[in-house]
Structure 1
Amino acid sequence: MLSRFFIHISALLVVVSCLAQEKTTFSGTVKDIEGNVLEGANIVLYPQDRTIPLSFAVSGKDGGFRINVQKNIEYTLNITFMGFEPLKETIVFIQNNTTRDYVLKEALNELQEVVVNYTPPIKVKKDTTSYQVDAFVNGKERKLGAVLKKLPGIYVNKEGDVFFKNKKVGAVMVEDRTFFTGQPKMATKNIPADVVSEVQMIEDYNETPFLKEFENSDELVMNIKLKEGKENFLFGDIEAGVGYKDRYRFHPSIFKYSPTVVHNLIGDMNNTPTRSFTLSDYLAIDGEKDIQGIIDVYDSPIGKFLQNTDYYDNNHYFGGYNFQYNPNDIHEFRAFALGMSDRTLNEDMYNYTYQPSQDIENRIKNLTGNNKIYYGKMKYKYTPDLYTVVKLDVAFDKSNLESDGINISDNAEDTRHYTVQNTQQGERFLMNANVDKWFSGKNVSSAKLSFYDNREFYTNRWHSAYDIFSESIPLSEVDTYKVIDEGERKYTNLDLDLKHHYRPFRTNIVTFGFNAKLQKSSLDNFAVQDTGQPQYTFISGFSNDFGSLLNELNTSVTHKWYIGKPVIVDFGVVFQNVFWKDRHALFENTYYENNILPVGKIEWNFDEKKSLELSYNMSVSNPRPNSRLSGNTITDFNLITEGNPYLMQTTTERALLSFSATKAYGFSLYTKLGYRKHKEPIIQNITSDGIAVGVSSYQLDNSTDSYDVSVNGSYKRKYWGVSLYNTYFYKNGISIFNGEQTFNNSVNVNSDLRFRTEFEEFPNIELTMNNSFYKYSNPYFENRTFTTDVDFSASYDYKDWKFEMSFFQNFYSNKSQSNSSYFNLIGAKVFYHKEDSPFEIGVEAYNLGNNISQSSNQYNSLYFMEHRRRVFPRTVMVNLNYKL
């Protein structure tokens, strides 16, 4: 089956190659009348046939250029260079290769007219790359995502995420204002293509313009400029669909823009595989950038709910509203709110191999989930003058998550039937206040005050006719066993961050920083047994009354030095003082530490397209409060978690060498070589008896390390592009099983090949092939897993018809367990849209092969786990869309 697939793909690539061979090349040089080369001249060829996209190039250091063109087509050639008269001529390419040299004359009085009347298709100015959209599209594109796919150097994946220079776009703006929640997916799938005039990719973005040259930023932002006359307009889509077995979907997306007021409304109701709001969306609107903040989001009730994407049935309701008011350049107000309600069904089969006993457990879970999420955020920006910016934002979210599961656990000793009910409720409040002040060209300051308050309530219930629980849980003998674990977590954080940037010379910037944190956290939980009596029986040893107060001070100084034009040296040091006091039910514990943390980076920018960077930093992290408990917690019927009140800080050193060479058309290369060292890391101390496991936190006296390498290359032409992404990761680790310390290591090798075409009049394809190898070994166990994913899609616009098909094939092979499986998803779409008509009708199908399940695996310190999940069944929908 796989061989046939590759034969078809190879044949299709041959066809693509043949189509590409109808082109020829046009090359030459651009000089002035004295024979000096002109670097950066724009050479643009406008075809008389409007169905053919224009061709263009920019002259290099030697004044040379090279462009791919089509034979026997009449072009209008335009060559422009600032300060020189433009050159214009008509040309038809008959030969296979055409070479011509051009000489430009200096302009005397018409320079301003030339600059005003001509805008190059691509313009690079410092950290901003601008694309004139009309130079790349043919008018058949419906959404922004289709436009972006035709812009050289930009990649859009199926989820709607946007990448530029191998970096992911973090936020989207329209006319310099944040679009809805700022998520690229919302923009690429909702903004109409015909309103877009220009796309700007802004690197090293800073919301406060005068801070850009003082503060380093890795943020990449996309800004959309609208066509003239589109500043006051209403646009959007209303999509509706019905399908087999009562499937339905209703998706309105309405946008109202004006220079001062913006309204966005997005809704979605469906029982299809699609979910409008994902974990990556939540991370984007939450704004978390640091690792610990992202971990907290993953562990939050909302984060845990959004991680569940393995449902086979779903009722999804989503609504979001965004409002922006900009009466003038001084005031800017923005508010948005969203809500989501989901009911999901999951069916999962697990095969656990526990460490180090090698005992096998097979578990089946049938889970019903009912989940509700509400999120709101308000932002106000005050800019009284060019030198002052004040920002205030307030956010609140609330969640209510419920799940009810029927489970069967089977191993060599017994078969256990039990039910599990989980309830999680969460409330979170966040406030940030920022002030940025420009005093002079030498002095700039910023201050930020943040307040964060989070509360979570949870209840876990296990119910079985038999005593299925670990022997470490002391239970009374009854006819029916009911165990309840309840708890409340509270976390409050107050954070003050001050910075002052001083530039004594044009090439030197010194930054002084001060950060103060005050964190208060608590956890009250207990486990009880319902014996049928009026009062529950408390389970001895399974309760925690924990409170913690942490103070952290960080004082820093960094020096940024511009050595000539290409080299930037940035180095500094952080002086940290940390203190925390933990209160337990029977005792108190304190910890105090001083740290000196160096940081440095050397950046060599050969030109705007090539750069080399070497960085080093040392950081410390505090152990999470819930890992410092003194009591036990029931995590599952066979899993007990115990804290360690004597944990200390861990230190991580990170060194990274990276190189990038970027071209809009041609070959681009991105490479990284990294090393990470963990000093005194915190690991899991595992005590096991068969499948009954106890886990506690343990701090090592020695270190572990890891290595990572990535080599990513891409080659882009006007009508096609190919890329190869390779990554290698190696990690040394230490595990503790039943008091014995053992060494382990893991290797992960990943290769990703992508090919896509962007023809105007021919079918287009996109092919992604991913090969992944994972190996884990310790003295008790070794696992080797190979996974191959083939993702193929094709699309074709024929007159008023649009055809799309997709094919995903997964091959899974566990060599250690001698298990293998394969899985595929086949989808298709056919839509009809008459030009100038607001209506579109079509048919859409998902999982045409009606595959039932998909396999994967996972390893952690407790066990090796193979997972087989039930997938969403075949879905066929008839859609009617209305474009406003």
Structure 2
Amino acid sequence: MYRILYYLLFLTSFSFSQTHTITGVVSDSINNPLESANIIALPKSENGTLKFAIADNKGRYRLELDKGVKYEVTASYISFIEEVLVVEPNSTITTHNFKLKSTGQKLKEIVIKHEYKPIIVKKDTITYDVKAFANGNERKLKEQLEKLPGVEVDKKGNVTVQGKKVTKMLVEGKSFFGGGSKLAVENIPADAVDKIEVIDHFNEVGFMKQVSDSDELAMNIKLKEDKKKFIFGDIEAGVGNNEFNLLHAGLFYYSPKTNVSFIGDMNNIGRSTFSFEDLMRFQGGVSSFLSGRKSFTNLYSFVNDNTDVVQNKSQFGALNFSVDAFKKLSVSGYGIFSNVFMQSKAESNNEYLQSNSVTFENQLQNNDNRSVLGIGNIKLDYNPNNKEKWYYNAQYQSSANDINNVINSVTNLNENTFKTISQADNVSVKQYVEWHKQYNNSNHTTTFVVNQAYENNTPENLWFTDQPFLSGLIPLQTDDNYTIEQIKKVKNNSVDAMFKHYWIINNFNHLYSVAGNNYGYSSFITSEKQLITGGTINDFSSAGFGNDVRYNLNDAYLGMEYKFKIGKWTNKPGIYWHWYQLKTNQPSADYSLSKTLFQPQWNSDFEFNKSETLNFIYRLANTFPEVSQLANQYTLQSYNSVFRGNALLENERYHSANLRYSKMNMYRGIMINAMASFNKKVKTTRNEIELDGINQFNTPILTDNPETNWRFNGSVSKKIYRFTLKLDGNLSWFNYIQTLNSITTSNDRNNQNIGVSVKTSYKKWPDINLRYSKGFSQFSGITKSNFQSDGFNADFEVTFLKDWIYKLSYENLRNTNNNNQDNFFETANTSIRHQKKNSPFVFELTVNNMLNIKAKNDYSFSDFMISERRTFVLPRVILFSVSYKL
């Protein structure tokens, strides 16, 4: 560790003598600063690298040129004539001010007219020419993006540009597999990419951009001409120790009217092909203008890399297409298939905290999970003319989840072994129609949306044990072995419609009106039975188990939003009137509720300058209970938990406020992003808990007890010559009222995590990223608990002998509880890759879990339990793979 820090300090001091810094101001002829002016330094010799800067709000810029290299420095700005400065290799110039003369014309864009054409700037769009920033050794899009200024890619495939997250990924202007970023950054070959466009305030409907207030940030990948009308991509195969293997293919075909992409993957090394965010998009079929209803389908097992298992086998296939069928109609869609099998093993030491006693439990859990998923999605895009747009989207989704779970529970009172077999078949059909029209005078625009969704979920559970359990909570009959069968049937059907009118009164005043209706129907049926030896059945319905609920919730609403601008300050207050009608029918009781509620909201944006903004959002909202919360019969949840709903629940009511600040100053090399949020529930639904040993009984209660949740997260990064230093934090304070064993207490659950990192920012150096984080967690309720964590991460990448790339990542984590007991684990991965220039073959040797750790350790706590958990992980994986580029 100390050697690494010493090396970094040495490189820092060495860099002082290897750079030539020029600063100055870009202004017009009367000395008004030109904010966001572009300054491009083009090297005139092969040993130099392209440099660029963007002027801050005072017109200041800073360029760090390679010493001993001749540069041609060009300053440019919209509607101004470019000015060029030639910097000789032995130049002593340290300051230069550019004064640009107006062309007298209003240009739509800036084009930097050099051989590389590295940047094209429009109002909301920045286009990067990739070859100006990459070194040519990159294999995938992800590695190219990491070298673009202001662009970051995390380990989950999420992309941020100048601190703002990319929410839509496009290739040649078409949505790429629903618009998620992970599939794109990890599969698109680097040698196919020509330019990258970053589009802020993105809207698929061009004429809606002025009124939609979209906060989406889109990234559009433009391909090289020689990659169009030809199939390109790569195929990879790998074999390793202990029968570990990998097969992966990413194949693409793009032409002006037809685009087809295929991604296939088979591996047993714990690598997932798509992320949770991608999954949320694939669960789509819902218009972005309507908030989707909560899905009952649990598909978490399909996403994110998962090496925290003892076995993982994954099969994945995806096909994406887009066809311009006719002049005004295009058809696009995708198909997804995923089959995942996982075996996991975990040991837990649990302390169940009660008002007058503590129950200790040692738990060993083995889990086998097989999940199969199929999705088909099709979208029609119809453009009758340039002022009208129609969309139709339909999606079918089917999944099956089979789980075999064995829990061995040893307490200070008894010992039980529970085996659970769960099967869940889920089907959903979703579709929507969107219509957008702008009228002739362009001051009036309308949107009409209809959305329909249907879900049918049928989970079945079987519990097996040789001893009685949940004594007093379930009506067991004495038997040699105990078998409990549970069947659930859940159906959801919803139809939502919305009409919105946008009126542009003038450039500073807009008025929007909204009318809509959301209707939802659900049925919830459960049954629990004991299957007794000899064939008889003990039906739990006589003891208050078994639900049969019909649920209807209708929400009719009217709303008005007024958008006005005062200088740099834009505001949009709004008021919505909602008429809610809730009806439930169940054998024990029928219930109906009708409420008229007003829900105000306020959006406010202040733009200090083009690179510094402040955004505020406030909402007063209401949420109504789900059908399972209203089911007033008992339901068996797990080997130690029973739940009963409450048919008299009403809506929760809460205030939500968010404040976001962002600033980027390339002159000072500073980037700041900070967000604070406050949520306060004034009507709260929270489960009351009865705890007896490890056995739990839960039921939801609506109260006027307030719940407050403060959150803050932010980061500050500073570029110091060829290094970037970053400080980030994530803080939260949560206060709520909890009833446990008839004792009501005020609980505080607080978390703080602070991190500091340093990384190199010079493409001729190895990529080094070091990070240390410190975490604190506190819980105060019936008891008090405190935990701390110390984490260190290091990533290293170097290119040597032109054709070799070596990577190393290391992570360790130490957790400490309030008794100063700690656990520790560390893990490391490494790889070496070889590819000759212009060769289609890539050879790579990868070692995951090179330290061959057996398990990861962590502490956690809840309202009534402290748990120390040991999760077993995949062993060391040594994989040799060969890739072939088409």
Aligned residue runs from structure 1 range 532-551, under 5 A: 532-539=533-540, 540-551=543-554
After TM superposition, the structure 1 stretch with the greater mean CA deviation from structure 2, 871-880 or 580-589, is 580-589
Hey, what's the Cα distance between the residues in 2 that align with 1:315 and 1:595? 50
1:423: which partner in 2? Answer: 423
2:220: which partner in 1? Answer: 223
Instruction: Describe the superposition over 1:576-607 as per-residue Cα deviations: whole angstroms up to 9, x where unpaired.
Output: 11011111113211111110111012211122
The answer to whether structure 1 residue 765 and structure 2 residue 768 are counterparts is yes
2:5 aligns to what SS in structure 1? helix
Hey, what's the Cα distance between the residues in 2 that align with 1:701 and 1:710? 29
Q: Which of 638, 641, 649 matches 2:651? A: 649
Hey, what's the Cα distance between the residues in 2 that align with 1:239 and 1:807? 25
Q: Which of 741, 744, 747 matches 2:744? A: 741
Counterpart residue type for residue 460 of structure 2: T
1:188 aligns to what SS in structure 2? helix
Q: 1:745 to 1:233 in 2, by over 3 A?
A: same
2:234: which partner in 1? Answer: 237
Aligned residue runs from structure 1 range 245-260, under 5 A: 245-260=242-257
CA drift at 1:90: 3.7
Instruction: Describe the superposition over 1:115-134 as per-residue Cα deviations: whole angstroms up to 9, x where unpaired.
Output: 68458634443332322323
Q: Which of 43, 47, 55 matches 2:43? A: 47
Aligned residue runs from structure 1 range 365-764, under 5 A: 365-439=365-439, 440-539=441-540, 540-564=543-567, 566-664=568-666, 666-716=669-719, 719-764=722-767
Aligned residue runs from structure 1 range 841-856, under 5 A: 841-856=843-858
Q: 1:233 to 1:462 in 2, by over 3 A?
A: same
1:518 aligns to what SS in structure 2? strand
Hey, what's the Cα distance between the residues in 2 that align with 1:354 and 1:658? 40
1:813: which partner in 2? Answer: 816
Counterpart residue type for residue 633 of structure 1: T
Q: 1:108 to 1:749 in 2, by over 3 A?
A: closer
Q: Which of 142, 146, 149 matches 1:149? A: 146
Counterpart residue type for residue 333 of structure 2: A
Cα pair 2:805 2:834 within 8 Å, conserved:
yes
After TM superposition, the structure 1 stretch with the greater mean CA deviation from structure 2, 105-114 or 452-461, is 105-114
Cα pair 2:853 2:875 within 8 Å, conserved:
yes
Q: 1:100 to 1:407 in 2, by over 3 A?
A: closer
Hey, what's the Cα distance between the residues in 2 that align with 1:806 and 1:388? 51
Q: 1:394 to 1:71 in 2, by over 3 A?
A: same
Hey, what's the Cα distance between the residues in 1 that align with 2:521 and 2:110? 63
The answer to whether structure 1 residue 18 and structure 2 residue 13 are counterparts is yes
Hey, what's the Cα distance between the residues in 2 that align with 1:699 and 1:108? 66
Cα pair 1:283 1:294 within 8 Å, conserved:
no
1:296: which partner in 2? Answer: 294
After TM superposition, the structure 1 stretch with the greater mean CA deviation from structure 2, 531-540 or 611-620, is 531-540
Aligned residues between the structures: 875
After TM superposition, the structure 1 stretch with the greater mean CA deviation from structure 2, 102-111 or 828-837, is 102-111
Hey, what's the Cα distance between the residues in 1 that align with 2:126 and 2:193? 16
CA drift at 1:293: 7.1
2:755 aligns to what SS in structure 1? strand
2:4 aligns to what SS in structure 1? helix
Cα pair 2:301 2:371 within 8 Å, conserved:
no
Hey, what's the Cα distance between the residues in 2 that align with 1:671 and 1:60? 20
Instruction: Describe the superposition over 1:250-296 as per-residue Cα deviations: whole angstroms up to 9, x where unpaired.
Output: 00110111111111111111111212234332013334799997893
When the two structures are superposed, what TM-score results if normalisation uses the length of structure 2? 0.94
2:792: which partner in 1? Answer: 790
Counterpart residue type for residue 600 of structure 2: P
1:78 aligns to what SS in structure 2? strand
Counterpart residue type for residue 337 of structure 1: G
Counterpart residue type for residue 753 of structure 1: V
Instruction: Describe the superposition over 1:516-544 as per-residue Cα deviations: whole angstroms up to 9, x where unpaired.
Output: 11111011111101112334220132211
After TM superposition, the structure 1 stretch with the greater mean CA deviation from structure 2, 652-661 or 859-868, is 859-868
After TM superposition, the structure 1 stretch with the greater mean CA deviation from structure 2, 277-286 or 634-643, is 277-286
CA drift at 1:59: 4.4
Cα pair 1:25 1:96 within 8 Å, conserved:
no
After TM superposition, the structure 1 stretch with the greater mean CA deviation from structure 2, 325-334 or 518-527, is 325-334
2:343: which partner in 1? Answer: 345
2:197: which partner in 1? Answer: 200
Cα pair 2:109 2:122 within 8 Å, conserved:
no
Q: 1:103 to 1:503 in 2, by over 3 A?
A: closer
Aligned residue runs from structure 1 range 299-318, under 5 A: 299-303=296-300, 306=303, 309=306, 310-318=308-316
Instruction: Describe the superposition over 1:361-386 as per-residue Cα deviations: whole angstroms up to 9, x where unpaired.
Output: 11111111222111111111101111
Counterpart residue type for residue 214 of structure 2: S
CA drift at 1:306: 4.5
CA drift at 1:176: 1.1
The answer to whether structure 1 residue 125 and structure 2 residue 122 are counterparts is yes
After TM superposition, the structure 1 stretch with the greater mean CA deviation from structure 2, 75-84 or 168-177, is 75-84
Hey, what's the Cα distance between the residues in 2 that align with 1:735 and 1:579? 29
CA drift at 1:39: 5.5
Cα RMSD for the two superposed structures: 2.6
Instruction: Describe the superposition over 1:128-167 as per-residue Cα deviations: whole angstroms up to 9, x where unpaired.
Output: 2322323212222222111111111111112221012323
Taking only the aligned residue pairs, the percentage that are identical comes to 25
Cα pair 1:686 1:862 within 8 Å, conserved:
no
2:875: which partner in 1? Answer: 873
CA drift at 1:619: 0.5
2:475 aligns to what SS in structure 1? coil
1:267: which partner in 2? Answer: 264
CA drift at 1:746: 1.2
2:183 aligns to what SS in structure 1? helix
Counterpart residue type for residue 331 of structure 2: F
Hey, what's the Cα distance between the residues in 1 that align with 2:349 and 2:369? 23
Hey, what's the Cα distance between the residues in 1 that align with 2:277 and 2:644? 31
